[in-house]
């Protein structure tokens, strides 16, 4: 399949504009990347996941508030006492039924590899379905999806302790206002694997962080007016259409793509945009491809899934914490990817794109960065939208200006390909989100926060307050 894609559009487009494609090879031929390995080294999957069941904590359990210990029962307090483990860098908690909500607190503490000191207790954000595939979709109905917290980046660790405490649990348990914990609670310890080897450009500094100016393997750099072979926006749109057609042509005979038919209005709208009628498309930003951040393509489902168009962008924070460096961002992304697929049971990483604290932009869910790839980021509103996650937690910490700027650059280009005004409004039909019933027509900003579509803290109030700035900057980049 990869060869077909190359022959269909690679010759035409390669010298003009880099358009990263994410076409999977058959499972039997996929070789998982192994960093720092010689040619003779055995090929092994990058990264690993340890899944450890939580046990009832029936003795004295310290409360998260620091108040005196209380006697717990199995129904309202479970955990894992301090124990050694294989190395990991990300931790999350999952449970059997994705439709069951966890009402309570989930906390972990860890020990750095080779050390003896344990961290303080850190809380995990309980998602309770807000980051997930829509009800009724093949991904949600696959039977593999589990309930899950957000994963937390803790760095290289080899020891863990976990406690999960039900909401309103007190000394007198079993009362009407005490919620039982979900069944099948497990802690997931994720090792994202080593960094993939990236050849440096001549004269480029050695660094593990993606650079905004230095191209590297797996990084798609856009053509601009100052680069040889630069194309006008109308040509870029044509190339995007070519990429879309090539991918679909290869996938359709295999039954691998789920592409809904366009409505008459959507068809006419896209025809106008494709014809180059005042496209308002921002410059294509530099995007680190899945290969660039080391995605193991053997993990995800082979098929792609698409929606008709992209009407809106939902902004998220990953809630993985801010204790990462930009050089570690690819590792954080690989950890989220593995957690979404192996632990949460999704077909692929849920977000369409990710942005790190230095403003680097990453390709998320596979299927083509110019295409309307169906994600699993905003329950009820995944259809006809794209999801962008800023790596970090921004409930009490301001997002870096570089990250907000990257949101503006990415949305100016991505929304522009589908004729959207970043400062505009759009009406989406809810697939059922808890906040809006299924079938409800909801008027939203074209650039919205996750909380606009679901009752959640995401993307964190500090990031949410920056979306007005992102909308204005995005529109300017489109020439509006």
- Pick 407 or 68 by higher pLDDT: 407
Question: Could you say which DSSP state residue 109 is in?
Answer: E
Contact 190, 91 (CB under 8 A): yes
At which residue do the structure tokens 């369409």 appear? 352
pLDDT at 205 over 50: no
User: Length of the chain in residues, anyone?
Assistant: 480
Summarised one tens digit per residue, pLDDT across range 298-333 is: 999 998 999 999 999 999 999 999 999 999 999 999
Dihedral pair phi/psi, residue 238, rounded to 5°: -65, -40
pLDDT at 355 > cutoff 50: yes
Strand partners, 306: 373
pLDDT digits (tens, 9 = 90+) for 230-240: 333 343 344 44
Highest mean pLDDT out of 36-40, 209-213, 255-259, 380-384: 380-384
Distance between CA 189 and CA 151 in Å, rounded? 9
Residues with Cβ within 8 Å of residue 145, at least 6 apart in sequence: 98, 132, 133, 139, 344, 345, 346
Top pLDDT among 279 and 214 is at 279
Q: Show the tokens assigned to 192.
A: 């994202």
Q: Which of 43-47, 201-205, 466-470 is predicted least confidently? A: 201-205
What pLDDT, on the 0 to 100 scale, is given for residue 402? 98
- The answer to whether residues 17 and 242 touch, using CB atoms and an 8 Å cutoff, is no
Instruction: Show Cβ contacts of residue 158 under 8 Å, excluding neighbours closer than 6 positions.
Output: 84, 85, 86, 87, 88, 111, 112, 113, 114
Contact present, 433 and 140 (Cβ < 8 Å): no
Number of neighbours of residue 432 by Cβ within 10 angstroms: 16
d(CA 356, CA 254): 35
Q: Does 396 score more than 80 pLDDT?
A: yes
What is each CA distance from 91 to 56, 124, 339, in whole angstroms?
Answer: 19, 9, 9
> pLDDT, tens digit, for every residue of 105-126?
999 999 999 999 999 999 999 8
Q: What is the pTM of this model?
A: 0.76
Domains of the chain: 2-27+216-477 (3.40.80.10), 49-62+71-190 (no CATH)
State percent of the chain over pLDDT 70. Answer: 64
What is the distance between the alpha carbons of residues 246 and 35, in angstroms, rounded to a whole number?
Answer: 31
Strand partners, 122: 108
Apex 157 CA angle, 69 and 91, nearest 5: 65
Least confident of 192-201, 221-230, 372-381, 434-443: 221-230
pLDDT for 134 equals: 61
Concatenate the DSSP letters of all residues of 345-365 into one string.
--SS-S-SEEE-TT--EEE-S
pLDDT at 157 over 90: yes
CA R_g for the chain: 22
For residue 459, whether the previous peptide bond is cis, meaning omega lies within 30 degrees of 0, is: yes
Q: Kind of pairing, strands 55-56 and 77-95?
A: antiparallel
**Distance (Å, whole) CA 1 – CA 252:** 11
pLDDT digits (tens, 9 = 90+) for 8-44: 333 333 323 333 333 333 333 333 333 333 333 333 3
What is the tens place of the pLDDT at every residue in 46-87?
Answer: 699 999 999 998 754 454 444 434 445 556 899 999 999 999
How many other C-beta atoms can be found within 10 angstroms of the C-beta atom of residue 449? Answer: 25
CA 278, 279, 280, 283 torsion-angle sign: negative
The residue among 274 and 73 whose pLDDT is bigger is: 73
Average the pLDDT over 414-433 and give the result.
93
pLDDT grade, residue 442 (50/70/90)? very high
Q: What pLDDT is stored for residue 339 in this prediction?
A: 97
Give the pLDDT band (50/70/90) at residue 345: very high
- Greatest CA separation found in the chain? 73
Please answer whether residues 175 and 128 qualify as being in contact, where contact means their C-beta atoms are separated by less than 8 angstroms: no
Is the pLDDT at 95 greater than 90, yes or no? yes
Positive or negative, the CA dihedral 454, 455, 456, 459 is positive
């Amino acid at each position: 399949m990869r060869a077909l894609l190359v022959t269909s559009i690679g010759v035409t487009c390669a010298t003009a504009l880099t358009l990263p494609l994410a076409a999977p090879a058959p499972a039997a031929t996929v070789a998982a990347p192994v960093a720092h390995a010689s040619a003779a080294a055995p090929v092994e999957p990058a990264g690993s996941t340890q899944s450890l069941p939580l046990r009832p904590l029936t003795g004295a359990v310290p409360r998260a508030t620091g108040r005196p210990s209380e006697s717990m029962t199995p129904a309202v307090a479970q955990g894992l006492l301090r124990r050694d483990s294989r190395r990991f860098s990300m931790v999350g908690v999952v449970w059997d039924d994705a439709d069951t909500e966890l009402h309570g607190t989930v906390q972990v503490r860890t020990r750095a590899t080779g050390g003896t000191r344990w961290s303080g207790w850190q809380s995990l954000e309980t998602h309770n379905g807000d980051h997930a595939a829509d009800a009724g979709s093949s991904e949600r109905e696959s039977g593999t999806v589990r309930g899950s917290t957000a994963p937390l980046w803790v760095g290289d660790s080899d020891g863990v302790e976990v406690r999960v405490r039900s909401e309103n649990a007190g000394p007198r348990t079993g009362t009407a206002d005490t919620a039982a914990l979900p069944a099948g609670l497990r802690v997931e310890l994720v090792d994202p694997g080593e960094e993939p080897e990236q050849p440096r450009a001549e004269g480029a500094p050695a660094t593990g962080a993606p650079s905004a100016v230095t191209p590297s393997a797996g990084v798609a750099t856009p053509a601009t007016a100052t680069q040889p072979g630069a194309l006008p926006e109308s040509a870029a749109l044509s190339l995007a259409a070519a990429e879309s057609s090539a991918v679909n042509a290869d996938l359709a005979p295999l039954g691998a793509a789920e592409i809904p038919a366009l409505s008459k209005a959507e068809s006419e709208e896209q025809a106008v945009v494709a014809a180059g009628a005042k496209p308002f498309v921002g410059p294509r930003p530099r995007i680190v491809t899945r290969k660039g951040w080391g995605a193991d393509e053997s993990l995800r489902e082979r098929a792609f899934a698409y929606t008709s168009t992209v009407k809106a962008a939902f902004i998220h924070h990953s809630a993985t914490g801010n204790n990462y460096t930009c050089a570690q961002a690819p590792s954080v992304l690989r950890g989220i990817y593995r957690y979404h697929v192996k632990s949460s049971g999704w077909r692929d990483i849920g977000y369409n794109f990710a942005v790190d604290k230095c403003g680097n932009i990453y390709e998320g869910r596979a299927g083509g960065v110019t295409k309307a790839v169906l994600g699993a980021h905003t329950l009820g509103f995944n259809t006809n939208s794209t999801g962008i996650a800023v790596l970090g937690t921004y409930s009490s910490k301001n997002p870096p200006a570089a990250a907000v700027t990257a949101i503006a650059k990415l949305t100016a280009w991505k929304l522009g390909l589908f004729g959207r005004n970043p400062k505009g409004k759009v009406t989406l039909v809810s697939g059922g989100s808890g906040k809006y019933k299924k079938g409800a027509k909801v008027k939203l900003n074209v650039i919205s926060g996750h909380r606009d579509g679901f009752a959640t803290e995401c993307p964190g109030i500090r990031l949410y307050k920056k979306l007005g700035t992102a909308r204005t900057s995005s529109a300017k980049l489109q020439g509006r």
